[in-house]
């Protein structure tokens, strides 16, 4: 049974040390920390972490993302971990670590190539897990939100991200199932499969939500939300 | 000097011996010579000094000044690296080929490089007098090497990871970025040789900022000697780039000192060609570095010698 969910973006820059000496986007970090704090405070038996990656897979909860992939030369960055998580799950794990969560975790990645139905099915499986399950979803919106964006400017990105924001703000999670995978891919919205896992896990229920952060400081749409079941 | 220090110095000397003479156009360059490649953009929208040499007469003035300031190579480009207004093949040719011909006619001996990834453009600019094709996009166009070979020109083989032309890197990661750089640049150099490009006119480039975040660009700078050890001449394009800006937290106009520091270190580690906006400062930096390396006599030394 899902008792609560949180949504955070997963840019590598949220990993420790990757932005160098500067504290980049402190308000985004604070919003993520608040969302994870609320999630953990719900008292789950298990936190299920879901994020997009190249493959659909379950991952070792003890694994972390190797910082050296992104920051060779960063003091302390190495490849000591036995398994290397995709960055979305690495960000989720790091947020849980930062939030002091020591309980059970389950980490699942969903491939960008998965169909809407397959993503929703992953969500249903998570919702069917025994005990009190909290869901931490890592998902980014379009990366085409301006001339300096990673994917340059695409005029469709504003409407695309606004619809995701509306669905989350109003608790209309089923609307996330209507997101077109090919449009999401064109707009470099990596979070599409993860949003649809969220919808599969909670769709049909009336949920309350709080949008904690919604901005695109580097041309990528970041959204932080708490979802109360 | 200790025995091991002597051994290291000897090894370094032998590594230098392994470096080739570089032959571009009518010029040939010994391994110890450090070359400035001056950037001349025939674009209205490049990231630095946008549009300054869009006008042909301004561009020719820039060439005159760059050569007077000590540039060995001029690198003429018609398409900015960043995404933006589409520049198709015919527009790129329109922007660059006639200008290459004008520079060739004004300077019969200067090495002219053309910054393009497209084989159709390479054919035109080589016909107009270009000696080197600076393929910044890492061999995207598989037909390019054969065209370069047929024209008798040289080729820059750059590492861009998995980027397509005119796209920005997004969340790129590498288990070992230098291993990836070495693999890709060696493969492109071998492909050029197979296509018939003269081995003494092939250059490799780690391509700072291309397919890399700032940490990656710092790492390839730190480990540049590994590229030099391949024996291929190494080109670095550092000028005013984002990795300098992010490292020092400085905007474009304030990145010269960081650029020159990176240039010094690259020179020390064995890079031979330095693509630059600031020719005077880069020339001075490289001359100083070459003298510290012991490969260039100082200009005038009288201190304590009279």
Q: What is the pLDDT of residues A140-161, one digit of tens each?
A: 999 999 999 999 999 999 999 9
Which residues from B are below 8 Å from A22, CB to CB? Answer: 249
Specify whether B6 is catalytic: no
pLDDT confidence of residue A36: 98
Contact B171, A11 (CB under 8 A): yes
Q: CB contact, 8 Å: A74 with chain B?
A: yes
pTM given for the model: 0.89
Specify whether B241 is catalytic: yes
Model confidence at A79, pLDDT cuts 50, 70, 90, reads low
How far apart CA B259 and CA A27 sit, in angstroms, is 32
Which residues from A are below 8 Å from B215, CB to CB? Answer: 18, 70-74
Q: CB contact, 8 Å: A24 with chain B?
A: no
Per-residue pLDDT for A123 more than 90? yes
Contact A152 B83 (CB under 8 A): yes
Q: Which residues of B touch A (CB under 8 A)?
A: 83-84, 167-177, 213-216, 218-219, 222, 246-247, 249
Closest CA relative to residue B47, chosen from B252, B203, B209? B252
How far apart CA B294 and CA A199 sit, in angstroms, is 67
Q: How is chain B classified by DSSP, letter by letter?
A: --HHHHHHHHHHHHHHHHSPPEEETTEEE-TT--EEEEEEE--S--SSSTTTT-SHHHHHHHHHHHHHTT-SEEEEESS-SSS-S---HHHHHHHHHHHHHHHHHH-SSSEEEEE---HHHHHHHHHTT--EEEETTTT-STTHHHHHHHHT-EEEEE--TTPPTT----S---SSHHHHHHHHHHHHHHHHHHHT--GGGEEEE--TTTT--HHHHHHHHHTHHHHHTTSS-BEEE-TT-HHHHHHHT--GGG-HHHHHHHHHHHHHHT--EEEES-HHHHHHHHHHHHHHHTSS--S---TTT-
Contact A87 B173 (CB under 8 A): yes
Contact B246 A147 (CB under 8 A): no
CB-nearest to A70 from B84, B215, B247 is B215
What is the arithmetic mean of pLDDT over A125-137? Answer: 97
Contact A11 B171 (CB under 8 A): yes
Q: How far is A74 from chain B (nearest CA, A)?
A: 8
How far apart CA A96 and CA A91 sit, in angstroms, is 9
pLDDT confidence of residue B72: 98
pLDDT confidence of residue A83: 60
CB-nearest to A188 from B170, B216, B218 is B170
What is the arithmetic mean of pLDDT over A6-15? Answer: 96
Model confidence at A78, pLDDT cuts 50, 70, 90, reads low
Among B47, B163, B170, most A C-beta atoms within 10 A, so best to mutate, is B170
Among B86, B173, B219, most A C-beta atoms within 10 A, so best to mutate, is B173
Q: How many CA atoms lie within 13 A of B98 on its CB side?
A: 10
Contact A72 B247 (CB under 8 A): no
Contact A72 B215 (CB under 8 A): yes
The SS3 call for residue A207 is coil
CB-nearest to A74 from B176, B215, B249 is B215
Map tokens 């003429």 to a residue: B76
Q: Which position has the higher pLDDT, A74 or B141?
A: B141
CB atoms within 10 A of CB A16: 13
Would you give per-residue pLDDT tens digits along chain B (306 residues)?
A: 344 443 444 344 444 447 899 999 999 999 999 999 999 999 998 888 888 899 999 999 999 999 999 999 999 999 999 999 999 999 999 999 999 999 999 999 999 999 999 999 999 999 999 999 999 999 999 999 999 999 999 999 999 998 899 999 999 999 999 999 999 999 999 999 999 999 999 999 999 999 999 999 999 999 999 999 999 999 999 999 999 999 999 999 999 999 999 999 999 999 999 999 999 999 999 999 999 999 988 888 888 777
Q: CB contact, 8 Å: A152 with chain B?
A: yes
Q: How far is A36 from chain B (nearest CA, A)?
A: 23
pLDDT confidence of residue B5: 43
pLDDT confidence of residue B174: 95
Which residues from A are below 8 Å from B170, CB to CB? Answer: 143, 150-151, 188
Catalytic member of B212, B241, B272, B283: B241
Q: What is the pLDDT of residues A82-96, one digit of tens each?
A: 468 999 999 999 999
Contact A33, A120 (CB under 8 A): no
Q: CB contact, 8 Å: A12 with chain B?
A: yes
The SS3 call for residue A143 is coil
Among A10, A72, A190, A219, most B C-beta atoms within 10 A, so best to mutate, is A72
Catalytic member of B42, B104, B118, B275: B275
Contact B291, B298 (CB under 8 A): yes
CB-nearest to B171 from A22, A87, A149 is A87
């Amino acid at each position: 049974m899902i008792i609560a969910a949180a949504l955070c973006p997963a840019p590598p820059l949220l990993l420790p040390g990757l932005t160098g000496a500067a504290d980049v986007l402190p308000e985004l970090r604070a919003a993520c920390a608040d969302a994870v704090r609320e999630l953990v405070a719900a008292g789950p038996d298990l936190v299920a972490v879901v994020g997009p990656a190249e493959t659909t897979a379950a991952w070792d909860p003890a694994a972390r993302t190797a910082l050296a992939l992104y920051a060779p030369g960063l003091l302390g960055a190495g490849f000591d971990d036995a398994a290397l998580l995709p960055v979305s799950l690495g960000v989720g794990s790091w947020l849980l670590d930062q939030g002091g969560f020591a309980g059970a975790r389950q980490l699942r990645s969903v491939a960008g190539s998965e169909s809407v139905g397959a993503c929703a099915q992953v969500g249903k499986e998570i919702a069917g897990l025994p005990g009190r399950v909290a869901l931490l979803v890592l998902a980014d919106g379009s990366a085409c939100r301006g001339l300096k964006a990673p994917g340059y400017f695409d005029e469709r990105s504003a409407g695309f991200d606004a619809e995701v924001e509306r669905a989350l703000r109003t608790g209309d999670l089923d609307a996330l199932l209507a997101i077109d995978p090919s449009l999401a891919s064109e707009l470099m919205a990596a979070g599409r499969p993860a949003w649809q896992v969220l919808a599969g896990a909670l769709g049909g229920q009336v949920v309350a939500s709080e949008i904690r952060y919604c901005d695109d400081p580097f041309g990528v749409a970041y959204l932080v939300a708490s979802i109360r079941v | 000097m200790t025995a091991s220090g002597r051994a290291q110095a000897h090894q370094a000397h032998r590594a230098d011996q392994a470096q080739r003479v570089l032959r571009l156009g009518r010029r040939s360059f010994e391994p110890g010579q450090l070359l400035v490649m001056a950037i001349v953009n025939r674009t209205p929208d490049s990231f630095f000094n946008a549009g300054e040499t869009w006008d042909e007469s301004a561009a020719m003035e820039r060439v005159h000044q760059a050569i007077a300031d000590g540039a060995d190579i001029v690198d003429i480009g018609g398409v900015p690296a960043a995404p933006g207004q589409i520049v198709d093949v015919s527009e790129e040719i329109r922007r660059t080929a006639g200008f290459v011909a004008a520079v060739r006619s004004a300077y019969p001996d200067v090495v002219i490089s053309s910054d393009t990834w497209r084989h159709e453009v390479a054919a035109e600019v080589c016909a107009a007098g270009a000696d080197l094709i600076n393929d910044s996009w890492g061999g995207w166009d598989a037909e390019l090497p054969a065209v370069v070979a047929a024209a008798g020109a040289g080729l820059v083989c750059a590492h861009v990871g998995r980027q397509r032309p005119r796209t920005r890197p997004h969340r790129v990661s590498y288990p070992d970025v230098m291993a990836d750089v070495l693999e890709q640049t060696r493969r492109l150099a071998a492909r050029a040789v197979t296509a018939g490009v003269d081995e003494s006119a092939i250059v490799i480039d780690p391509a700072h900022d291309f397919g890399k975040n700032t940490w990656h660009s710092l790492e390839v700078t730190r480990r540049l000697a590994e590229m030099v050890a391949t024996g291929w001449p190494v080109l670095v394009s550092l000028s005013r780039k984002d990795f300098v800006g992010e490292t020092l937290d400085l905007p474009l106009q304030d990145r010269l000192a960081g650029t020159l520091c990176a240039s010094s270190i690259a020179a020390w580690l064995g890079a031979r060609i330095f693509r630059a906006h600031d020719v005077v400062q880069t020339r001075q930096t490289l001359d100083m570095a070459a003298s510290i390396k012991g490969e260039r006599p100082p200009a005038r030394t009288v201190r304590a010698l009279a």
